[in-house]
Amino acid sequence: MEMYKLLRKTFLFLPLLLLFITDIHAVTYDFEFINTTTVNYTTGEDYVDVTTQFLRKVNNREYLFSTKGEKIFHIPDSASGKDYEIELERQYKLDSLKVTSNTGNSVPYTVEKLELGQGLYINVPNYKTTTYGSVYVVNLNYKTHIYVRNVKDWVAIQVPALHQDTEFTQKDNVSGTTTKIEYNLNLVVDSNITPLTKVLPTTYTASTKDSKTTYSFNGEDRVGVPVYMEFGTARVFRFETKLKAPKTDNIVPEKYSQALSALSTNIYQVPLPREFAETNQRVMIEDIYPKPSKVTIDLEGNVIGTFEVPANKDTQILISGYIWVEQGDLENSRNIPNLEYSEYKDAVRKDSKLSAYLLPTKYWETTDTFIQSQALELVKEKEFVLDVIKSTYGYINEVLEYDNAKAESSNERIGAKAALQGGASVCMEYSDAMIALLRAQGIPTRAAVGYVGIEDITDQKNVPHQWVQLWVPEYGWLSIDPSYESVNMQIGTNIDSVLWETFFDDDDTNLGVYTADSIDLSTFTKENYSIQVYAIEEKDVPEVGTLLSYSDIATQGEDMDVKDTLNILVKTTTIGKAFIIILPILVVLVLLILLLSLITILIRRTKSQRTSQNQQP
């Protein structure tokens, strides 16, 4: 019994002994600086409420922080935008700015405005001495629009990365003291928000309390990596296409447009939004004028409407409709098969239909020695195909620098090799460079053109955007946007985009015109040819029964057939028009000749009968 009591006392004492031993060997810091930023989003708002709490703690009784120092907070500017937009957003933040102590009392501060794009410094002098056992807390609170995009039911929240030089421990070489530094981030959303679909980085914790969910990220995972969260599994867009077809024929009077339509016709081919498996993109038409003579689906899956319009008067081609896109929630997102690189190339070689997506072109110089050497360097020691893709994606972002000013100006296409020499670039340079490198690596690739960053503004000036699609067995065409950013790579499903056309060669549009007159489509401005795409809610879509599919509008077919070619030849070429004019004349002449021949035959028969009668006795 006495032995039992002794053992029992020993085991009860052991945890305390281990605790003391642990404390003795644990890393202790003289000071702790804990920075906790909480970004709170309320569903339906276009801004977030940001609170950064700075907590200073002294663990060493021999030291203190006097009131002579200060804490400097940094409030970032938008990474893009015009100067006046950045100025307006700065003022919005400053108007809502509050600096308080842990008791809620206001604390004095000063504002230092850096160059536009670099942000603001909020300098907060120490309002009290920090000693052992008495923590120092200061709270910075403001509102901002730049962390959130809210378009109808779709929400994206992005918080900038910590700088690559961020330190989590510091040692003072003079005093020998050490400081532990934390950078915690909490993103808080309410229960009304749509389902979560994407989170980057993927290491985080989630907790729900009082109908609000908090997603927490630690500082180490945020170094060089922005936090990105996306909510929403489906979106609906309305599109409106307007093409002004100018008068090109000054010979045939306008009043004879219908009677002499064959003599005065221009034929336009207008690209329509296509369907796409990755986002389950579907299209329905509400209005289309004039009715197309044909709707063609080419080998790429592009949809092209053929319209015949009078050439002797100004007219318009008007098309409007709706586009649906979808993606799975976070637990049901579509997986991308990650084949071994060698296995992937073998699968590609066995599929002859993919050979066209590996060929060099004028702007995708796949066989160029520079492109070849860079492509080979990027595949070294890469076991899986996704590793090759990410390596190439990262390389392009290291070499190219996106230029917003260039994006808003006319941009001459320079091709992949020139783009990879470095310098200011836009989406075309990014995609051309990636297509050339991927093709050189044996990965079938094509260019995709459409619209991204779509808002709910009806007068939004949509600018076509180009990205990349590559073929993955058992998946299909995988979308990649190398101009997005280098860390949280845009690979896979993206419902913040609408796909319009795809190309296996250097083409960048299927817009075309056949005419006997002179029209240069390259000179078309946004006033001549415009496409508006904007987000709406499902409830704003008319009854599906009132909408039309492409098959409801006109006869569908794959590419042009002989009948189409003859129609274009006859109606839109000088030879064809001459044939139309001459043909009736020839028909009349033939009929006259036949009539004269018939009359001649009748006269001869009449004369013959009379002669026969006169010869009878």
Tell me the pLDDT tens digit for each residue of 502-528: 999 999 889 988 887 777 666 666 678
What is the rounded average pLDDT of the residues 343-347? 96
Q: Which of 160, 181, 157 is nearest to 169 (CA)?
A: 181
**Which letter does DSSP use for residue 292 in this model?**
P
> Which pLDDT score, from 0 to 100, does residue 278 have?
97
Burial of 233 (0-12, 13-18, 19+ CB in 10 A): buried
CA distances from 188 to 192, 194, 266 (A): 12, 14, 57
Q: Are residues 273 and 498 in contact, defined by beta-carbon separation less than 8 angstroms?
A: yes
Q: For residue range 435-454, list pLDDT tens digits in order.
A: 999 999 999 999 999 999 99
Whether the pLDDT of residue 610 is over 70: the answer is no
The half-sphere exposure of 452 on its side-chain side, counting CA atoms within 13 A, is 14
pTM of the model: 0.85
Confidence of residue 577 (pLDDT cuts 50, 70, 90): low
Spell out the CATH class of 29-232.
mainly beta
Report the chain's mean pLDDT, rounded to a whole number.
Answer: 87
Domain ranges of the chain: 29-232, 234-331+514-598, 335-492
Whether the pLDDT of residue 8 is over 80: the answer is no
Which two tokens mark 423? Answer: 């310098």
- Opening angle at CA 283, ends 278 and 288, nearest 5: 155
| CATH of segment(s) 335-492 | 3.10.620.30
Whether the pLDDT of residue 182 is over 90: the answer is yes
Q: Using CA atoms, how far apart are residues 571 and 293, in angstroms rounded to an integer?
A: 13
Q: Which of 298, 274, 267, 279 is nearest to 550 (CA)?
A: 274
Q: Which of 437, 463, 435, 462 is nearest to 448 (CA)?
A: 435
Q: Which of 166, 205, 202 is nearest to 185 (CA)?
A: 205
Q: Using CA atoms, how far apart are residues 386 and 170, in angstroms rounded to an integer?
A: 38
Q: Which of 271, 266, 349 is nearest to 312 (CA)?
A: 266
Q: For residue range 579-605, list pLDDT tens digits in order.
A: 555 666 777 778 888 888 888 887 777
CA distances from 531 to 240, 275, 304, 503, 525 (A): 6, 17, 15, 19, 11
Q: Which of 344, 289, 265, 287 is nearest to 513 (CA)?
A: 265
Q: Are residues 126 and 71 in contact, defined by beta-carbon separation less than 8 angstroms?
A: yes
Residue 82's H or E segment, with its range, is none
Query: Which residue carries 């060089």 as its tokens?
Result: 224
Residues 6+ apart with CB under 8 A from 44: 150, 192
Name the residue with higher pLDDT: 260 or 241: 241
Give alpha helix (H) positions in 26-111.
Answer: 83-96
> Which pLDDT score, from 0 to 100, does residue 522 have?
65
Helix (H) and strand (E) counts for the chain?
A: 11, 31
> Same CATH topology for 29-232 and 335-492?
no
> Which pLDDT score, from 0 to 100, does residue 472 have?
97
> Which pLDDT score, from 0 to 100, does residue 514 have?
86
Strands 120-125 and 196-200: unpaired
Out of 151-165, 172-186, 227-241, 563-577, least confident range:
563-577
Query: Which residue carries 């276009």 as its tokens?
Result: 46
Q: Which of 88, 98, 92 is nearest to 144 (CA)?
A: 92
Percentage of the chain exceeding pLDDT 90: 69
Confidence of residue 311 (pLDDT cuts 50, 70, 90): confident
What is the rounded average pLDDT of the residues 352-364? 96
Confidence of residue 261 (pLDDT cuts 50, 70, 90): low
